[in-house]
A and B are shown apart, each in its own frame.
Chain A
Amino acid sequence: MSHTQESRQTPVLHLENVTRVHGHGAAEVQALRGVDLKVHPGEFVAVMGPSGSGKSTLLTLAGGLDTPSGGRVLVEGVALGDLNRKQLAQVRRRSVGYVFQDYNLIPALTAAENISLPRELDGLSARSARREALVALEELGIPELADRFPDDMSGGQQQRVAIARALIGDRRLVLADEPTGALDSTTGEAVLAVLRARCDAGAAAMMVTHEARHAAWADRVVFLRDGRMVDESVSQDAASLLVSAATNSMKVDE
């Protein structure tokens, strides 16, 4: 889905001149120096940049896991800074799916329980929540892991459970930090296809990655450097691609 066609709608995620300073005095580090970014419904945005460029800070701010030093973060038009703790927790649970780089699964819960927890906290019956969790596990190609505990899973399996947890329910915004880090290239591709399909169905996603091949699944790739957005690449409409491919020419060999 083209984001230009969606641009009149309220962005699912809106970062308004966001800054973040860690530490103070001589140890002060400017992690973000004024970032403006909108992610619209149906849009998949990838964030790239060298280590220390502010990628992960950007993601934690977008997910309400951290508070900006300046500027505002709006999720579906609501400024996270205006919410009390309870309201913020609710936005994070209902609207935002977050895939952590280190998965953050609860060791005492099975895969299905980890996934269904946010839905149960939202008042869904345990039975319905489990049904949703099983669907999410199927979508990620790991239905057989439903009743396994994180300790009995490989890193790649835990990563896919973490992704299933982020996708469950009607999350409008999916935030993912290197979501394919522990996966082989075919499985990683399958996970990206799931994220892509979510966006094509109307959700918005922002993913931090250092792998260009993974970033390429996004509609927009933004580049961060020293806490600033320095550049971006917007994918064109697929229909025009074969035409542009045809402008390449090939010489007759002798």
Chain B
Amino acid sequence: MSIRHGLLALLDQGPRYGYQLRTEFEARTGATWPLNVGQVYTTLSRLERDGLVEAAGEDDEGHQFYAATDAGRAELRAWFGTPVPRTNPPRDELAIKLAMAVTVPGVDVSAVVQGQRRHSIKALQDYTRLKGRALAGEARPGVVPSASNDLAWLLVLDQLIFQTEAEIRWLDHCETRLAQQAELLQARTAEATRDGGPAPAKRGRRLRA
């Protein structure tokens, strides 16, 4: 996730100082990914080092302003023009957890699935409530209401909702697959018992229950 490009996008609209950048970033993303001022300044100094932003004077209150350079603006256009890479998916803790759970003996996988589903549905309920408020045009604490900020926040919420929903569907799917697997195992065991010997290895052939 790029704070760099987020800040560049804000600076593209005119010079700003650190705290202001933080506030505006959060007004658009709804504090879903909160920034602290330290992160903002660290990122600004890296952008400055790379020639993408430059210092643009101070105001009477001593706020240090920054402005995007031409190189910074070019970098921003390139960012908008390039898809976010999906070919190297970020590590997903839940996928790793389930992949491990099915291989570690004694783990109640369906309990892991249900525990996650409850948690994810709860998150979905919470996002949906926030969305209900956003659609009703309710003001957010500490955010100056503006049509574009509100639209940005709504899009972020929708994304969280769709992503969480996808996770829940995947969990449902995992559960069905686990149930199928268990049935298959049962059928094999039954057949082995009937034959009076160990289950024959029948790879790639589905057994009927």
Which residues of A pack against B, CB within 8 Å?
48, 50, 193, 196, 211-213, 215-219, 221, 223, 230-236, 238, 241-242, 244-246, 248-250, 252-254
Known pairs A213-B165, A245-B34. 16 more at Cβ < 8 A?
A: A50-B175, A196-B132, A212-B124, A212-B164, A212-B168, A219-B125, A232-B118, A233-B121, A234-B122, A235-B122, A235-B125, A235-B126, A245-B30, A245-B31, A250-B34, A253-B43
Distance in angstroms from B86 CB to nearest chain A CB is 18
**Within 8 Å of chain A (Cβ to Cβ): is B77?**
no
Bound-complex Cα distance A217 to B129 (A) = 7
Bound-complex Cα distance A248 to B164 (A) = 16
Interface pairs (13), CB distance under 8 Å = A50-B176, A196-B132, A212-B165, A212-B168, A213-B161, A216-B125, A217-B125, A221-B125, A235-B122, A235-B129, A238-B126, A245-B32, A250-B35
B34 touches A248 (CB 8 A): yes
- B121 to chain A: which residues have CB within 8 Å? 48, 212, 215-216, 221, 233
The count of chain B contact residues (Cβ–Cβ below 8 Å) is 42
Name which of B1-9, B68-76, B99-107, B184-192 contacts chain A: B1-9
- A241 to chain B: which residues have CB within 8 Å? 126, 129-130
The tally of CB-CB contacts under 8 A between chains A and B is 96
With beta carbons under 8 angstroms apart, the residue of A50, A211, A223, A254 that contacts B118 is A223
- A249 to chain B: which residues have CB within 8 Å? 34
B1 touches A253 (CB 8 A): yes
With A212-B168, A245-B32 as known contacts, state yes or no: A223 contacts B125, CB within 8 Å: no
Bound-complex Cα distance A199 to B120 (A) = 23
